[in-house]
Amino acid sequence: MIFVWQRNIVLATCFLLFFWFIEGVYLSSAFTKVPQGGWVSLVLAFVFLAVMFVWQYGTRKKYNFDLHNKVPLKWLLGMGPSLGIVRVPGIGLVYSELATGVPAIFSHFLTNLPAFHSVLVFLCVKSVPVPYVSPEERFLIGRICPRPYRMYRCIVRYGYKDIQRDDGDFEDLLIQSIAEFIQMEAVEPQLSSSESPSLDGRMAVISKKNVQSTSTLIVSEDFGMRDSIQSSKSLTLQSLRSAYAEENPQIRRRRVRFQLPENPGMDPAVKAELEDLIRAKEAGVAYIMGHSYVKARRSSSFLKKFAIDIGYSFLRKNCRGPSVVLNIPQISLIEVGMIYHV
């Protein structure tokens, strides 16, 4: 109430005391009637409290592990733009809960996958404590490492009443937002991290309205999956997409093609980066997520081992996966397992 709603501290205190009084009446009535069955409500309240505490505790431990084990950017810079592996055409959307830095699971990807995409986007979906986030303020785009690495960061912000619909426009808006950021970075060099490679580049709010009205790319649209299937160079991927289209005839995603406008005055480096982005989009988009297993350290206490290894693991197995919550198409999903010792 004080920080989000900007209300007076006296009003917030009165609100708290009022509901504390109501809760105190109910709690005292349950305590006075324990022999007559009042213990049932107390046990149920304790069970729900324990479930919420275990979930919050395990989630916080996992987030702190990511926060304190981020991949050093000096390590990425030392491997060069190829990252020490083969960079294949395509866009890899790496989901992360971190809004800054490179998550530890990315190094796990590099050591377990023989190749990686030519364009990498570290995607962070955040729920902010406001009801709605306007489309003009939804996307935050930034750069990781110098320009030849083709690595970007995107923070997508949703309010707690916003509905994340799988309408097929997310990928296209993301590509247009990155293209707009590349063009904006050429005009405003302070957004670039090339001068300070030890830090992430500054992030810019990319307005959806501005992207649609003054887009850096020329957009042409058609509906259906046939062109998307034929555009893939992999016969195996073509057969998988064909089977997916046959099993889901109700899905007809909009196919968007991007082209660069004729602009002789465009910076050659910016033009080359935009062309790489368009070629990567035509090659396909893959959603890369870490399938993490959280385990307590051997030196942990019995209570912590019980909360993490039994309670938190049980809750994670019986909750919807992140790919379901985020409406990620299964045909494009790549998951790599990793154990977190917290």
Mean pLDDT score across all residues of the chain = 80
pLDDT band, residue 233 (cuts 50/70/90)? low
Helix, strand or coil for residue 277? helix
- CA atoms of 177 and 273, how far apart (whole Å): 14
pLDDT band, residue 293 (cuts 50/70/90)? confident
Question: Which distant-in-sequence residues (6+ apart) come within 8 Å of 31 by Cβ?
Answer: 38, 42
Structure tokens at 308: 């993490």
Asked whether residue 210 carries a pLDDT value surpassing 60, the answer given is no
Question: Which distant-in-sequence residues (6+ apart) come within 8 Å of 296 by Cβ?
Answer: 304, 305, 307, 308, 309, 341, 342
Q: pLDDT per residue over 64-81, tens digit each? A: 988 888 888 888 888 888
Q: pLDDT per residue over 260-291, tens digit each? A: 777 777 788 888 888 889 888 888 888 888 88
pLDDT band, residue 201 (cuts 50/70/90)? low
Q: 137 near 198, Cβ under 8 Å? A: no
Sequence-ordered alpha helix ranges (H) in 188-267: 208-213, 226-231, 235-247
Who has greater pLDDT, 193 or 70?
70
Q: How are strands ordered across the β-sheet holding 204-206?
A: 204-206, 139-143, 151-159, 115-128, 86-95, 285-295, 333-341
- CA atoms of 177 and 205, how far apart (whole Å): 9
Question: Which distant-in-sequence residues (6+ apart) come within 8 Å of 209 by Cβ?
Answer: 135, 136
- CA atoms of 157 and 109, how far apart (whole Å): 25
Cα–chain center distance at 108: 17
Who has greater pLDDT, 316 or 4?
316
pLDDT band, residue 245 (cuts 50/70/90)? low
- CA atoms of 169 and 159, how far apart (whole Å): 19
Write the single-letter amino acid at 212: Q
> Average of pLDDT values for 289-315?
90
User: What per-residue confidence (pLDDT) applies to 215?
Assistant: 57
Asked whether residue 253 carries a pLDDT value surpassing 60, the answer given is no
Asked whether residue 194 carries a pLDDT value surpassing 50, the answer given is no
Planar angle of CA 285, 92, 230, nearest 5 degrees: 25
> Average of pLDDT values for 185-196?
60
Q: Return phi, psi of residue 112, to 5°.
A: -115, -20
Asked whether residue 193 carries a pLDDT value surpassing 50, the answer given is no
Cα–chain center distance at 307: 26
